[in-house]
Amino acid sequence: MARSLLDKLKDLERTAGVRRSSGEAAPADEARDAAPAAQLCNVENHREGELAEAGFQKLSTPHGPVWVRETGFDLCTSYGDRPFADFLSCDFARLSRLAKADVAPERMMFYDVEATGLGHGGGTVPFLHAVGYFADDEFRVAQYFVPDYAAEAAVVRLLADRFGRDGSVMVTYNGKSYDWPLFVNRCVLYGLIPPEPAHLDLLHPARRLWKRVVGRMKLADVEALLGVKRAGDLPGSEAPLRYFAYVQGAPVASMEDVFAHNLRDVCTLARLALEIAEALEERRSWPHAAPHVGLATWFDAWREWESADAQFRRAVEQEDADWRARWLFSLFLKRRGQWDEACEIWLELARDFPNRPEPLVEAAKYFEHHRRDLAKALEAAQAAQARVAEESREHGEIARRLERIRRKLKRGAALPG
């Protein structure tokens, strides 16, 4: 009558309706065939052969073997609409400013991982690390693969050394919240002190430039802007499942799509870095206002007034120049003391956006304090007041302004001349 523990467990899970996650299987009824040790050994050899066939090389390290596949691209190779060689002619001064580090092609490491899940806890394992770099007239991508969980330590140690080299600049896409914390987790788990390279996460500048143009900011969405076309690409969520199948015996060929996906991600990273560097060097233009506004606000913050001015002008020239582009430009002009031009924009904005009081308030200030044209100031302030709700804070502020202008008008009328 005694039931085995496993029978009991099976019944319990079935009757309690235990939820299974994506990769989980229902328990098999027959017992597992325990593979004899010798057979395991053969399997190991077989898998190594497979990896070698797939182009992976076995590096011996003091902490065990590391499997790596290097793919080189001649600099003349185009990726998207540009050859890698364009990196050599690009000026990275402003990108360096953005990265707060000295950026140069030979220092950059483009890093992207594929992991067993999207979480970033201790159990999410990056099983494929790709590092893109420039060397020997090539753009090279080294893909470090973890063929078994047990083989991870050696990979992490090797990468920690590599990332720790002086002057390295890590370049990622969303790496500040995903790829890098995952790597740091692994370092901690293997008792290593995580390296601290300079880190440029391209997601943030890309978002400032193109969020309003492309909407979603996944790497694939940005690729369209770079002339990159991907066909038959593996959906990212599929990668963990392929890996789980692989560690349980599926042939390495089934991982090929994952390797390819990862390789392309790193190439796109490089292409994106070039795009942003050139944009910062003002060598790009778009038929949209938003990217130019994005550039202008950086330049403004960096006190590069001429560049900021030029970018704002390009922005407001665009057909889709919206309230934000024009309004930010007007405030820029105001700060720069170019009042007359700023006022022109305010009056246009007041006309084009009949519900917004802000441009009229600015105009009223300008007429009152700079042009000392109290009649026009009164007119603008009154028009502004008509656009705000009576109970609002703005209403009170405008009322005080009106009162002061009227007082000044009265005083002015009392004075001779």
Partner 1 sequence: MNLEQLLDEWRRDPQFRNQVSAWRVVPARIGRYEDFPAELHPELRASLAARGIERLYAHQREAWDLIQAGRDAVIATPTASGKTLCYNLPVLQAILRDPSVRALYVFPTKALAQDQVAELHDLVRNLKTSVHTFTYDGDTPVHARQKIREAGHIVVTNPDMLHAAILPHHTKWLRLFKNLRYVVIDEAHIYRGVFGSHVANVIRRLLRIASFYGARPQFIFCSATIANPGELTSRLLGRETAVVSESGAPEGEKHVILYNPPVVDPSLGLRQSALRAARRLGARLLQHEIPTILFTRTRNQVELLASYLRRDARDRVRSRIVSYRGGYLPNERRAVERGLREGQILGVVSTNALELGVDIGSLQAAITVGYPGSVASTRQQMGRAGRRKGTSAAIFVATSSALDQWMVRHPEALLDASPEAARIYPDNLLILMDHLKCAAYELPFSADERFGVETTEELLGYLVDTRVLHRAADGRYFYMADDMPAHAVSLRSAAQENVVIVDQSAHPPVVIGEMDRFSALTMLHEEAIYLHQSQMYQVEKLDLENGKAFVRPVDCDYYTDAELAVHLQVLEENQHTDEGPLRHYAGDLAVHATPTLFKKIKLETHENVGWGKIYLPEAELHTSGYWVTFDRSGWSASDDEWEAALKGLGHVLKQAVALHAMCAASDVHVAVEVRDPQYARPSVYVYDAYPGGVGIAERVYRDRDQIFATAFDMLQGCPCECGCPSCVGPPTSGEPLRQWVEALLGSVAGAGTPRGA
Question: Which residues are near partner 1 by CB under 8 A?
Answer: 1-3, 5-6, 8-9, 11-13, 15-28, 32, 44, 116-125, 148-151, 181, 184-185, 188-189, 237, 240-241, 244, 247-248
Q: Are 64 and 153 in contact (CB under 8 A)?
A: yes
Closer residue to partner 1, CB minimum distance, 122 or 227: 122
- Cα separation, 77 vs 138, in Å, equals 9
Closer residue to partner 1, CB minimum distance, 124 or 382: 124
**Smallest gap from residue 242 Cβ to partner 1 (A):** 11
Q: 81 in helix, strand or coil?
A: coil
Cα of first residue to Cα of last residue in the chain, in angstroms, is 116
The candidate with the shortest Cα–Cα distance to 126, out of 114, 140, 112, 137, is: 114
Four-CA torsion 398, 399, 400, 402, nearest 10 degrees:
90
The candidate with the shortest Cα–Cα distance to 383, out of 398, 373, 397, is: 398
**Smallest gap from residue 201 Cβ to partner 1 (A):** 16
Strands 198-201 and 169-172, how do they pair? parallel
**Smallest gap from residue 186 Cβ to partner 1 (A):** 8
**Smallest gap from residue 3 Cβ to partner 1 (A):** 6
**Smallest gap from residue 229 Cβ to partner 1 (A):** 28
Closer residue to partner 1, CB minimum distance, 11 or 53: 11
Determine what percent of the chain falls in helix, strand and coil, rounding each to the nearest 5. 55, 15, 35
CB atoms within 10 A of CB 396: 12
Q: Which residues contact 4 (CB under 8 A, 6 or more apart)?
A: none
Closer residue to partner 1, CB minimum distance, 146 or 321: 146
Closer residue to partner 1, CB minimum distance, 3 or 410: 3
**Smallest gap from residue 336 Cβ to partner 1 (A):** 34
Angle at 323 between CA 296 and CA 379, to 5 degrees: 115
Closer residue to partner 1, CB minimum distance, 40 or 253: 40
**Smallest gap from residue 27 Cβ to partner 1 (A):** 5
- Cα separation, 17 vs 20, in Å, equals 9
Closer residue to partner 1, CB minimum distance, 179 or 223: 179
